[in-house]
Structures are given as C-alpha cells and as structure tokens.
Amino acid sequence: MSHDYQAIAARILENIGGAGNIRQAAHCLTRLRIALHDESKVNGDALRQVALVKGHFSNAGVFQIVIGAGDVDRVYAEMVKQGSVARATIADVKASGDAKQNRLQQLVKVFSDVFMPILPAIVIAGLLMGANNLLGAKGMFIADKSLLDAYPGLSGLWGLINMMANTSFVFLPALVGWSAAKRFGGSEILGIVLGLLLVHPDLLNAWNYGKAAAGLDGASVPYFDLFGLHIEKVGYQGQILPILAAAWVMCRVELWLRPRVPNAVQLLVVPIVTIAVSGFLALAVIGPLARHLGIAVTDALVYVFNLAPWLGAALFGALYAPLVLTGMHHMFIAVDLQLIASQGGTFIWPMIALSNIAQGSAALAMFWLARNANDKNMASTSAVSAFFGITEPAMFGVNLRHKLPFYAALAGSACAAVLISLGHVKASAIGVGGLPAFISIIPQYIPLFLAGMLVALIVPFGLTWLLARRQLATAAQAEAAQHA
C-alpha cells in the first residue's frame, strides 16, 4: 500500500506547532524524535488521526511520534524538506531535550544512560540464575528432592550455568565503570579498569568481609597501611553506588588533566594519574561512603515494607507505571541490585514484573474492544511487548490514550503487588519483566508469584472490558449522532 508521505509530513508539521516549533529532529528505526520549543502547541488528538501515526509521547524532553519501520525515514525526509529542518542525530536531539529538564530529571537521565547499555547482560544473567534455581530447588519437580539430587549428572551443567550467571554480577562494577565513563565523557577502558579494581581478588568479598568483621575463626579485616592511613581491603562485588560515584570522579580527573598535559606525554601521564587518584579515592573515601549510603537506603526501604507491606506494595504497584512515564523507574535497577547483594534477593523487581503484565493485560482488552484495524494492530503488538517487559508502546500508544485502561492496569498492579508482598516474594536476580519473570523468582515463592501474575492479568483485563467498553460505546453513539 502506497502512502502520500508529503501530505503526512505536512499534517505532522501542522499538528506539532509548525516547523518553527522544532529545535532539532531525527528518527530511529520506528519513531520520529523531535526536540520542540513548546510542547503545549502539539495537537495530540489531531496528530493521532494522521495516517501512519500509531501514537506519540514525550520522554526526557524529546517528543516522539511512532510511525513504524520503513515509513519513518520517508516521513522524516519530507519533514526536513518541507520545514527546512536541519538534519540531526538522535544524540543531538537527546542532548537538546536534556537541556530542558530539571535537576531531578537530569539525575534520573544519568541512571538511565548508564544502566540501559548494560541491561542485556543483567537480564541474561538473571535468566541463567533462574534456570539454576529451578535445577537446585527441592520439591519443585520431585518430592523432597531437587533435580540435582535426582540426577547427579546435571551437576556439571549446573556449575557451568552458575558460573555464566554469576559473571555479570561478580564483575558488575566493571560493566558500570565502562558505561558510566562513556556517559560522563571519560575513557571507557579506564572505567573498566577502575571497576575491576573494586572487585580485585585481593579484596574481601561481602561474605568474607562479614566473617572478618565479626571476628569469626579469629579473622580480621586486612588493610593497606599508607603512612599510617588504614584503608580496608574490601571489594564491592555486585554494588552500584561505589563505582558510579568513583567513575564520575575519575572522569572529572581525566577531563581536567587532558588540556593541561602536553600531547607528547599524555598517554603516559593521564591514565596513570587518573587511575592512581580515582583508585585511591574509590577505596579510601568513595567506596566506604557509598557502601554505607546504599545499605542505609535499602534498609530504609526494607523497614517500610516490613512495617506495612500491604501499604508499601499498594503504593509501589500503583505508582510504578507513572514513574515509567517520567523515566524515574531506571533508578530502581540500582536498588534491586543493592538488595540482591545485601539481602540475598529483591522484593521490588517482582512487583515491577507484575506492573508490566498489568499494562499488557489492559492493552490486550483494548485489542478485543477496538473497532478498526489500526487500533487492533497497535493494541495487540503493544500487549505482546508489555508481556515481555517493554511497556512504553502499551502505555503511550493504547492505555493512556483511552485513560481508563491505564487506571485499570494501575489497580491490577497494586492488587497483585499486595498479594506477593504479604507472602514476602523475592527474586534472586533481575530477569525479563513480564510473563517469563517467574524464572528469576526464588523457587519457594514461585507458586505465590504465579498467583500474583493471574491477578495482574485478570483484574486489568476485567476492569478495562467493563469500563472502556462503556466509554467506547458512548463515544460511538456521540459520533453517530454528530453525523446524523
């Protein structure tokens, strides 16, 4: 089917406030990404009626219009031609959008930029750890036995998968160091080195540090003696805040040195001084402070949920999706990883997975209720995406557009979160935040988590069917009366 891209581009320009309202514009595989001077000039309802437009939303100061693969580049080309808009890269548009954000939004953006590139490694590790949990769980498949007990030949496979799963978590500071250095404008290889320094085998891991600090078996915490200054030999395996802060300091040191060191000796002086200064500060100051801060934050969170688990869960279940709209949800990755490192599991990630499922369920209900092919296509693909952990298409393209499905999803998410929190459900790792999420749940909690999944599927679907069906019928009657 051929489309009039010239007319489509003209209507898009008209409904986003004209070419004069565009600061910069680019496109990715499926979406137009536009930094606007004034987003209040956007006519959202009219924009959704434009051919090929499947939805639109604003995130991190960038207005995005969902077009679809294959068509988006043609629409973009016509927009550039008609509006005399200078071509830009996605990075340019993102930078332009960042400039419009407040301090809190910029902080959240930092977390997003650092964690998104390494998320695949964390998710894969979580799935592998979940598979290992199933192999080693007693009573999951065989009464009073694990699969390893029943089939000892699986022990080699279990050990291999366990090593693969642990790699991303053991060397997590190196991954964060690389991504943070890239985000803060420093040398990525130095970021990796700094991250590996914090997990060096000569430093105690959390288990051995706990034994040494408690004085078990006569052990004590070793330290570096630097002219009377004692620096504990403690590692930061699986921890986020120490390497994140240390990488920022490292980049500040490196960026300060570069213009001040002659080119002839830059390669010799800059890396050595950067690692020496930032490494010392990381082990002596940043690491201990960040470790205690991380422990305080997680302890406070655990205290709130222990004090009133149903209330904390209801609030989190209802508020997580709105946080996704602002981009603030990326901050919970750090909290999840901190909980896993210090508590042996996270109670937050299971609620996140259920929130994603709830958004997908509401979108699925809209698929059954939709009356035209375009709406059905958008709802079905968005539901599948949400069921596998990516909720933005469902929220921006379907649920928020009709409002009631979004509220139904929040209600379902809150109900499901309360259910699993009362049972103290935890995940041993971060996995795929949707229907496959049960793989990463600690085995003893899987049955209750599956019950939570049913609630997250049934409640949003039922509420959307009841409420949105009436809303759509009323809208159809009004439209028919208008054309009568």
Which residue numbers are catalytic? 28
CA 465 to CA 85: how far, in whole Å?
A: 43
Q: Tell me the pairing of strands 55-59 and 22-27.
A: unpaired
CA 135 to CA 154: how far, in whole Å?
A: 8
Count of residues in the chain? 484
SS3 call for 405: helix
Nearest to 114 by CA among 271, 245, 307: 245
Contact 396, 55 (CB under 8 A): yes
Q: Any idea of the CA torsion for 417, 421, 423, 429, to the nearest 10 degrees?
A: 90
Q: CA dist 144 to 147, 253, 448, Å?
A: 10, 57, 19
Q: Which residues contact 306 (CB under 8 A, 6 or more apart)?
A: none
Contact 284, 292 (CB under 8 A): no
Q: Which residues contact 448 (CB under 8 A, 6 or more apart)?
A: 419, 420, 423, 425
Residue with tokens 């205290």: 303
Q: Which residues contact 208 (CB under 8 A, 6 or more apart)?
A: 219
CA 191 to CA 246: how far, in whole Å?
A: 9
Q: CA dist 250 to 35, 381, 391, Å?
A: 31, 43, 35
What totals of helices (H) and strands (E) does the chain contain, helices first?
22, 6
CB atoms within 10 A of CB 464: 30
SS3 call for 50: coil
Residues 205-216 as b or e (16 or more Cβ within 10 Å = b):
ebeebeebeeee
CA 314 to CA 414: how far, in whole Å?
A: 5
Distance of CA 375 to the CA centre of its chain: 27
- H or E element in which residue 226 lies: strand 223-226
